[in-house]
C-alpha cells in the first residue's frame, strides 16, 4: 500500500467526523490534525495534504480561505451554505482543487449516473417514478437525494421539461405524461433507500440503492481526498472523482 494520505478533519467531534476518524487507517489515511467548533481552523493544517470538512456551513468558507492560502486541496461534505458562503468557497477554487458534493456515497453517485443513462436510453416511452424511504425522524421530504435523482432524469432531452409531482390527477387518479412521480415513505430507523422506476408498457426497470451505515459517506470522502490531492485548482464533483463525466 502507498504512503497514507495525511488529512485534516474539520468537525471531528460530530457524527461524520467520528466516522472519518474511525476508518482513517483502513482508508490509507492518517489524521494529521483535527478541528471542531472553538478551535483555530488553520492550526496544524500545514502538516496535512488534504482537508476534509464535515462541520457546519459557517465554518467551510473560512476553512476554504485558509486552504487556498496554504495550498491545501479540500473535500467539502458540509451542506446548507448561504449564497455568500458559496461565493467565498468558489473563490478558493481558483487557487486550489476542491471536491464539493452533497452526497459522498459512491453507490448513490453511481445511481445518479445510471438513472441519467437509463432515462436517456429509454426516453419518454417510459414513465419515471422515484420512491424514497427514510427513518421517522427525518424532517424534509422528499429527500435531497430524491430531488437529485429527478434532476438526473431532467438532464435528458425527453424529460427536460418534465414536472415533478407527488400526487395524481385529481379526477382520474392517473399519472399524466411528462410527470416524474416522487414518493416519500417514513418509518422506523431506515438509514436511506432510493428506487427509480422506469415503467414501460411491457417491462420496467428498477434501480435501487439501500444505505445501511453512514460509513458509505466517509469512504466516499476518503476516495475524493486521495483523488483531489493530485488535481489542478478548480471545482470538482463526485462524478469527476469516479470518472463518470466522460
Query: Please, which of residues 7-66 interact with ligand NAD by CB under 6 A?
Result: 10-11, 13-17, 35-37, 54-56, 58-59
Instruction: Match 449564497 to its residue by C-alpha cell.
Output: 83
Considering only 25-33, 84-92, 100-108, 144-152, which stretch makes contact with ligand NAD by CB under 6 A? 100-108
Q: Which of 217, 222, 227, 236 binds ligand NAD (CB under 6 A)?
A: 217
Residue 231 near ligand NAD by CB under 6 A = no
Query: Which residues, 157 to 216, sit near ligand NAD by CB under 6 A?
Result: none
Among 16, 65, 72, smallest CA distance to 44 is for 72
Rounded Cα distance, 104 and 67, in Å: 20
Nearest-approach distance from CB 186 to ligand NAD, in angstroms: 18
Question: Residue 148 in contact with residue 102, Cβ under 8 Å?
Answer: yes
Q: Give the CA dihedral 14, 15, 16, 18, nearest 10 degrees.
A: 80
C-alpha 190/C-alpha 205 separation (Å) is 23
Member of 6, 28, 79, 237 binding ligand NAD (CB under 6 A)? 79
Q: Which lies closer to ligand NAD via its Cβ, residue 175 or residue 214?
A: 214
- In the chain, % helix, strand, coil (3-state, to 5) comes to 35, 25, 40
Quote the least distance from Cβ 199 to ligand NAD, whole Å: 30
Nearer to ligand NAD, 52 or 198 (CB): 52
Just list the catalytic residues. Answer: 134, 138
Please tell me the distance from the alpha carbon of residue 90 to that of residue 60, in angstroms, as a whole number: 11
List strands edge to edge, sheet with 29-35: 29-35, 5-10, 50-53, 74-76, 97-100, 234-236
Under rule CB under 6 A, how many of the chain's residues touch ligand NAD?
24
Taking the complex as a whole, the smallest distance from the CB of residue 10 to ligand NAD amounts, in Å, to 5
Task: Write out the residues near ligand NAD by the rule CB under 6 A.
Answer: 10-11, 13-17, 35-37, 54-56, 58-59, 77-80, 101-104, 217
Amino acid at each position: 500500500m502507498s504512503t497514507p494520505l495525511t488529512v485534516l478533519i474539520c468537525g471531528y467531534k460530530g457524527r461524520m467526523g467520528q466516522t472519518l476518524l474511525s476508518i482513517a487507517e483502513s482508508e490509507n489515511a492518517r489524521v494529521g490534525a483535527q478541528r471542531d467548533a472553538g478551535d483555530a481552523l488553520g492550526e496544524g493544517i500545514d502538516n496535512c495534504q488534504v482537508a476534509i470538512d464535515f462541520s457546519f456551513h459557517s465554518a467551510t468558507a473560512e476553512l476554504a480561505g485558509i486552504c487556498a492560502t496554504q495550498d491545501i486541496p479540500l473535500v467539502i461534505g458540509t451542506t446548507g451554505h448561504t449564497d455568500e458562503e458559496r461565493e467565498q468557497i468558489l473563490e478558493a477554487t481558483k487557487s486550489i482543487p476542491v471536491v464539493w458534493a452533497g452526497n459522498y456515497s459512491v453507490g448513490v453517485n453511481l445511481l445518479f449516473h445510471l438513472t441519467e443513462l437509463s432515462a436517456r436510453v429509454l426516453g419518454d416511452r417510459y414513465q419515471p417514478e422515484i420512491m424514497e424511504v427514510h427513518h421517522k425522524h427525518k424532517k424534509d421530504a422528499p429527500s435531497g437525494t430524491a430531488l437529485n435523482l429527478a434532476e438526473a432524469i431532467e438532464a435528458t432531452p425527453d424529460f427536460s421539461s418534465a414536472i415533478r409531482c407527488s400526487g395524481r390527477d385529481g379526477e382520474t387518479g392517473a399519472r399524466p405524461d411528462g410527470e416524474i412521480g416522487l414518493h416519500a415513505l417514513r418509518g422506523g430507523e431506515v438509514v436511506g433507500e432510493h428506487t427509480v422506476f422506469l415503467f414501460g408498457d411491457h417491462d420496467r426497470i428498477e434501480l435501487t440503492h439501500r444505505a445501511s451505515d453512514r460509513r458509505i459517506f466517509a469512504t466516499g470522502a476518503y476516495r475524493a481526498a486521495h483523488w483531489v490531492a493530485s488535481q489542478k485548482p478548480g471545482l470538482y464533483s463526485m462524478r469527476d472523482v469516479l470518472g463518470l463525466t466522460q
